[in-house]
Amino acid sequence: MDSTLAAVSLIGLCVIAGGVGVAFAKALPPKGFVRLADIAPQIHQDMRYAGPDNFIGRPVPGYAAPRCWLRTEAAQALAAAQEEAAREGVRLVVYDCYRPPAATKAFIAWSQDEADQRMKEAYYPRVEKAKLFDLGYIAKASTHTTGCAVDLAFEGLDFGTPFDLFDDKSTTADPSIKGDARHNRDRLVALMTKHGFENLPNEWWHFTYKGVSDPKPVDFEVE
């Protein structure tokens, strides 16, 4: 078999096997993206959407692995933030980083399924799930799809609410949050701001890196 025929046969086998070759090509991250573990292995990764511990109660499409991918610039800035945090005796934990468009589509479908209320008490006890997008708790066009946004906290510390609680108390400056939780929110914002990130006011955990000149949405599966 000559090399041309062999190449054609290999492509055919990939297609017969369910499009494995094509899917693999689509899954490759674009140039300029890195795994956070390769830049800052000290940061704990608790990637909630890759498993059932999230507001829809099951693994989210697009997350084939519990792995944080980011634009290189954002990952490097986050690594610098972790170095400073470590000097102060704390460690960062990330909950979500790059988010595939397939995940957002799954969130939209979930919000329209009124029969599924399994996670209401834990994540949206005072809000109707159908209103989560209109109220800004979930975005249809999130900066997460650019690889410049990250959801995170200081590991093991109190922030007044858990990650992804859809409630007014999750607003970064909510006046009802006091004591250690208030101190930890302010401390996290100060650290991340120092390293080039901007907080989303209605989510204490959400930060977007502002040092990327061309943030564009991309589409690949997290592997």
DSSP string computed for 103-123? HHHHHHHHHT-TT--TTHHHH
Q: What is the structure's pLDDT at 26?
A: 54
pLDDT at 20: 42
Q: Using CB atoms within 10 Å of the CB of residue 82, give its burial: 0 to 12 exposed, 13 to 18 middle, 19+ buried.
A: buried
Domains and CATH numbers, the chain: 1-30 (no CATH), 31-209 (3.30.1380.10)
pLDDT at residue 28, rounded to an integer: 80
The reported pLDDT for the residue numbered 18 is 43
pLDDT of residue 12: 38
Q: Which residues are catalytic?
A: 203
pTM of the model: 0.87
The owner of tokens 């900066």 is: 143
Burial 145-177 (b: 16+ CB within 10 A, else e): bbbbbbbbbbeebebbbebbbbbebbbbebeeb
pLDDT in tens, the chain (223 residues): 444 434 433 333 333 344 444 334 455 899 999 999 999 999 999 999 999 999 999 999 999 999 999 999 999 999 999 999 999 999 999 999 999 999 999 999 999 999 999 999 999 999 999 999 999 999 999 999 999 999 999 999 999 999 999 999 999 999 999 999 999 999 999 999 999 999 999 999 999 999 999 999 999 999 9
CB 28 within 8 A of CB 220: yes
